[in-house]
Amino acid sequence: MKQHDFDFDDAMSVVQFFKKNKVNKGDRKFLLKTDCHPYNEDGTPNLDISFAAIGFATGDTLDNGRPEYTWFVLSRKLEAQGETLDKAFLKEHKEDLMLLEPVDDLKFGIIFLAGGADDWDEL
């Protein structure tokens, strides 16, 4: 699997993302899609694989007038822990949610939790 050049020094909270993109408070929207599919090499969707993604408004609009979103998926660590990207997860972790914007021409950035380090007492 290809490694990508994410820099955790660039991580930001959702509020910081909106502020960085100068998104007005009334325009700070998100879209949660629970049935996304990756594309095969021939450009068709691979319906055998499904994942959830969340888009946060960037403050810009597309040519058709709809808001533009930057999209994020859960980190592999959160997926391995059995977490699911849904409204319950977002509500539970609202204060700890951290974002890494897409890099290397990826379509999705990564969501992880602040303070997600291992428990020191378990060593």
Domain span at residue 25 reads 8-115
CA distance between the termini of the chain: 30
DSSP tag of 17: H
CA distance 112 to 85: 11
Is there a domain that residue 35 lies in?
A: yes
Would 90 be classed as within a structural domain? yes
Question: Cα separation of 53 and 35, whole Å?
Answer: 8
Domain count for the chain = 1
pLDDT tens per residue across all 123 residues of the chain: 456 677 778 899 999 999 999 999 989 999 999 999 988 889 899 999 999 999 999 999 999 999 999 999 999 999 999 999 999 999 999 989 999 999 878 899 999 998 755 554 554
Q: pTM for the complete prediction? A: 0.84
Predicted local distance difference test score (pLDDT) of residue 113: 92
> Residue 86 and residue 115: Cα distance in Å, rounded?
20
Residue 47 lies in a domain: yes
- Is position 62 within any domain? yes
Question: What's the pLDDT score for residue 9?
Answer: 82
Is residue 28 one of the residues assigned to a domain? Answer: yes
**38 domain-assigned:** yes
Note whether residue 121 is domain-resident.
no
Q: Would you put residue 43 in left (φ > 0), alpha (ψ -120 to 50) or beta? A: left
